[in-house]
Amino acid sequence: MMQRGQSLLPEQTAAADALATELVGTSRPWTVDDHAAQVAMVVRIAIRSAQHRGVSLQSMLSIPRRRLLDLCDQGDPTCLVVRDWLLGNLAHLPDGFEGSFSIATVVDRGDA
């Protein structure tokens, strides 16, 4: 039996490393589907936050807001539009379109 503070044997270290790799798995590259899922999640959080707290970038919690801004820095067009919307920048909308979105209502479909 090992005493507390005693270092592991090399075989024990190798076995622990193998078990950890098996449990956690190896990292895989970021795929297009992973990116799309991340964008969809962040946009959904942004829309829900705007519904509940108002259309403002500060209405989002800090972690999803940081992720939205990171995706904007990466140049994701969807996140750029959502960020502009939250900041009140409507430059990406066509002329005369400003009034039409304020008339539209958001239908809450639960967690769809």
**1-50 pLDDT per residue, tens:** 556 667 778 888 788 777 777 777 666 677 888 899 999 999 999 999 98
Do the domain assignments include residue 29? Answer: no
pTM for this entry: 0.60
What whole-number distance in Å separates Cα of residue 12 and Cα of residue 89? 59
Do the domain assignments include residue 96? Answer: yes
Residues of the domain holding 59: 39-103
Q: Is 22 helix (H, G, I), strand (E, B) or coil?
A: helix
Do the domain assignments include residue 61? Answer: yes
In this predicted structure, the answer to whether residue 55 has a pLDDT above a threshold of 70 is yes
Residue type, 11: E
Do the domain assignments include residue 90? Answer: yes
